[in-house]
Amino acid sequence: MIVVGGGLGGLGAAFSLSRQGLAVRLLESAPAFGEVGAGIQLAPNCTRILDDYGLLDEARSLGVLPDAMVMRDAVDGAELTRLDLRHLEERYGYPYLVVHRSDLHGLLLRACGRAGVELVNDARVTSYENTGGGARVTLASGAAHEAGMVIAADGLHSAARGLFVDDRPVSSAYVAYRGTVPAEQPRVRNTDLGEVVVYVGPHCHFVHYGLRGGEMLNQVAVFESPKALAGQDDWGTPDELDAAFAGTCDAVREGLPFMWRGKWWRMFDRNPISRWVHGRIALLGDSAHPPLQYIAQGAVMAVEDGWVLGEHVGLHRAGDGTVDWTAALAAYEAVRAEHCRRVQTTSRAWGELWHLDGLAREQRNALLRARDTYDYSFTDWLYGPTALTPDQEPDMFTPVPLDSAAVGGAALAGGAA
């Protein structure tokens, strides 16, 4: 079979399917395998899968197991709420891990190599089509590859997605800057690397946490671009970065000089779709469900996709090794499309909550301060075992309306909105 795309989703799927005894060829458009970016957060629903793959110990050695996740107000720096990540590990059975994106990518790449996945570079797929006995992909070079099954893990700008829906990426008008700070810098020495911290502010937020055993501090600065809102093409520029965070607290503003100012990431997602399978071609990862990043589940969902698909291949594989692809793909689509729709829509809503201003910001802060540290009503639907069938999918949380907050210090019942 063929997997298109050598990112985290494609590598994870290739490894998962190779575990089921399938011969897998992975086609990557770049001349060499690699991953850009900095830190990535892996919640227990992902580390559980890494453990099943036999890769969790290596991931632990490459990353950091933080003690807490803390949310602060970006304007005054005050703590709003926190998760005890050690207690969270006890609840879900697996840790919350932060790791450099390139380290996770390298881990999966090595695993694929050991599993015998055929890794092919300089192979940019431009078209997909079903054939009588499977599917075919055509490369920019004109060469073609055929297999009994093709998994399109080709990202936000997927060439395969056009088989399913005529849509375009949706701009959020937000842009992200990233950067890392070496451990010897005073900013790192004065920072608790055992915490994942997010500062939420009006139309902006700032995240930092330790990486590579505390060798560096990973930082992400995200803000809404006035130029994007005005329809200008040149948006998200460094001058907008500085202006967006001008009113934030010292702890945030002191991190801005360490951001990489020559590259920024405009934030797009796509509207959820329910159909991921077209004959012997299936979408996986961002080609199916690119989310905004606010609940840190983009790469996690892609890894889950590959694991679920592999499990259903195993369940629908006959003794002679043949796979009932129709049944396996139907089962994959039935459970993953709805779960990922939930994540995509929740990510959008969570981003809106982070970036509130005025009275709504005060109401949000009051609700978050009232939340008990050990209230898991907003994470149980996400961090538990990955569902293999729709009936295993847990119920969603119940939102708390902002206007239920008694601003001014009154005690509130319930959790964060």
Cα torsion 363, 364, 369, 373: sign: positive
Query: 291 and 399: one domain?
Result: no
Instruction: Choose the weakest-confidence range: 213-217, 219-223, 301-305.
Output: 213-217
Q: Is the pLDDT of residue 35 over 80?
A: no
- Residue where one domain finishes, among candidates 304, 331, 350: 350
Establish if 144 belongs to a structural domain: yes
Query: 275 and 400: one domain?
Result: no
Question: Of these residues, 94, 199, 209, 294, which one is catalytic?
Answer: 209
- Determine the pLDDT at residue 408: 61
Query: 16 and 126: one domain?
Result: yes
Cα distance between residue 303 and residue 285, in whole Å: 8
Mean pLDDT within 18-30 = 97
Query: 370 and 309: one domain?
Result: no
- Determine the pLDDT at residue 350: 96
Q: pLDDT tens across 370-400, in order?
A: 999 999 999 999 999 999 999 999 999 999 9
Q: Is the pLDDT of residue 23 over 70?
A: yes
Query: 343 and 391: one domain?
Result: no
Instruction: Provide the 8-state DSSP code for 148.
Output: S
**Whole-prediction pTM:** 0.95
Cα angle 270, 272, 273 (rounded to 5 degrees) comes to: 115
Confidence category of residue 416, pLDDT binned at 50, 70, 90: very low
Establish if 398 belongs to a structural domain: yes
Mean pLDDT within 18-42 = 91
- Closest Cα to residue 302, out of 289, 313, 292? 289
Confidence category of residue 411, pLDDT binned at 50, 70, 90: very low
- Determine the pLDDT at residue 409: 47
Q: Is the pLDDT of residue 415 over 50?
A: no
Q: Is the pLDDT of residue 84 over 60?
A: yes
Q: Which residue has the higher pLDDT, 223 or 184?
A: 223
Query: 25 and 130: one domain?
Result: yes
Confidence category of residue 34, pLDDT binned at 50, 70, 90: confident
Q: Which domain holds residue 333?
A: 1-32+121-168+271-350
Rg (CA), the chain: 22
* Annotation marks residue 209 as catalytic: yes
- Determine the pLDDT at residue 417: 38
Q: Is the pLDDT of residue 261 over 50?
A: yes
Number of domains, the chain: 2
Instruction: Choose the weakest-confidence range: 80-84, 191-195, 220-224.
Output: 191-195
Establish if 286 belongs to a structural domain: yes
Query: 275 and 344: one domain?
Result: yes
Long-range contacts of 86-89 (CB under 8 A, 24+ apart): 87/374, 88/44, 88/376, 88/379, 88/383, 89/44
User: What CATH number has the domain bearing residue 329?
Assistant: 3.50.50.60
